[in-house]
Amino acid sequence: MISKEEVKRIAQLARIKLNSEEVLKFQKELSLILDYIEQLKEVDISKIDLKKNLGKAQSVTREDKEIKKSPEQASKLMELVPDKKDNYLKTKKIL
């Protein structure tokens, strides 16, 4: 079973504060997860061809295309913008 100190260390790394009840709860849950992983390690996959399904993989991305808007549509959209300057949208800084 995973120790209480290990649970507290994991919580600290994740920057999560846990009370004593939560430490006990996660101690049990993390131990169950680790036990299940140990069970999975025992499964024999030597007879499985891991390369078999690689050829069926497909890209799920789409081509990036510009969608042209008429000047009337663009002006209608700009009217709905809450904050703008010189025909540009103003947003809060994100960096």
- Each residue's pLDDT tens digit, 37-78: 999 999 998 888 877 766 666 777 888 888 888 989 888 888
- What's the CA gap between 79 and 31, in Å, rounded? 56
**pLDDT higher for 81 or 6?**
6
- What's the CA gap between 36 and 90, in Å, rounded? 50
Would you place residue 26 in the very low, low, confident or very high pLDDT band (cuts 50, 70, 90)? very high
Amino acid making up residue 43: V
Domain count, the chain: 1
Please report the pLDDT score of residue 56 as a whole number.
67
Stated as kind and residue range, the H or E segment containing 84 is strand 84-85
pTM of the model: 0.49
81 domain residue, yes or no: no
How does the average pLDDT of the chain come out, rounded? 88
Q: Can you give the residue range of the structural domain that contains 29?
A: 19-43
60 domain residue, yes or no: no
24 domain residue, yes or no: yes
